[in-house]
Structures are given as structure tokens and as C-alpha cells.
Amino acid sequence: MVVPMRCTACGNDETRVVDSRSAEAGSAIRRRRACTRCKNRFTTFERFETVTLTVVKRTGDKTPFDRAKIVRGLTLAAKGRPLESAVLQLIADSVEDQARIEGPEVSSEWVGIAVLDQLRALDEVAALRFASVYKGFVDVADFERELTLIKREHPAFGASEPQSDSLTPH
């Protein structure tokens, strides 16, 4: 159960988050809040241990966020690629941080895309593999969109698509 964040001026428990950033190397989150009643702004400092992070699957089923599952997927995708295990751990950490800022609930699609975004910047081969490994995990359409982006940014990587600097409008 999440404790309501009360306004420090008037005690109103309806506040709006205006800014979130991770703190203490990702073990806590600092939120800038605004009271919906008196417009007072204040900062809260929330420890992650008090917040349960949940992943909502396409089926609507909810499951606890599993960092180890992300690392397993990354490890499979990075096999034989010049990506050290420590880098994969960092990606998983970073996705967890983002999820906590986004959360307390994130969709499985969101997790897959967040991982892919980071992996793509490091190694497009691993990113493509990750996309295929996780096809069953996230929405296929999302991944197809991501794959199109990868091919667009790395034309040599795609099949027979002509190289073009201009983006094709959808």
C-alpha cells in the first residue's frame, strides 16, 4: 500500500508529480510534487524498497518486475558479441531505474522497448537478437517497429532495403 504524499502546506493528499529523478545510484527516487489545491511545491524522497514494481502483461496479468529475467534475455542476445556482462547488468539497472520513475506499473511492452533502446545504441546485432528472443514477451508490432528503426539506422544490416537518408513517411 502506497502512503499518500500529503502537501506540506495544507495537508491535501492529492498531489501531482512534476518531476522524478533517481537518487542514491538508483536506490531511491526524488519526486517534485505540486499540491492540486494550494499549488504548493515540495520534494519527496521515496525509497524503492517501499515501492513494488509491477509488470502488466498483454493479457492483463501482473507479475513482479524481474531484473534477472532482463539480464537472462540480454545474455542470450549478447552471446558471442563484444558486450561484457557488466554492461548488460548496467542496462538492466538502468531499465529498472526508468521503470521505477515510470511505475509503479509498467507494461511488458514498455520493458522490452526500454531494453531494446539501450541495446540498440551498443550493438545492433544483439538488439535484433533480443527483439526475436522477446517476441513472445512483448507486442510483435512494437518490435517490428523497432527493427525497422534499426535497419533504417544501419542500412547495411537490413536485407535489400535501399539506403536512404530521408525517412519514409508512414
- Binding-site ranges for Zn ion (CB under 5 A): 7, 9-10, 12, 35, 37-38, 40
Rank residues 18 and 23 by Cβ distance to Zn ion and give the closer one: 18
d(CA 75, CA 4): 39
* Shortest CB 51 distance to Zn ion, Å: 23
Rank residues 33 and 129 by Cβ distance to Zn ion and give the closer one: 33
* Shortest CB 13 distance to Zn ion, Å: 9
* Shortest CB 34 distance to Zn ion, Å: 9
d(CA 56, CA 51): 16
Instruction: Tell me phi and psi for residue 125, to 5 degrees.
Output: -65, -50
Rank residues 12 and 20 by Cβ distance to Zn ion and give the closer one: 12
* Shortest CB 11 distance to Zn ion, Å: 7
* Shortest CB 19 distance to Zn ion, Å: 17
**Any idea what the Cα angle at residue 68 is, between residues 85 and 143, rounded to 5°?**
85
Rank residues 8 and 54 by Cβ distance to Zn ion and give the closer one: 8
3-state secondary structure of 151: helix
- Tell me the Cα Rg of the chain: 19
In angstroms, what CA-CA distances link 64 with 12, 15, 61, 100, 156?
A: 30, 26, 10, 12, 39
d(CA 142, CA 64): 22
Rank residues 12 and 107 by Cβ distance to Zn ion and give the closer one: 12
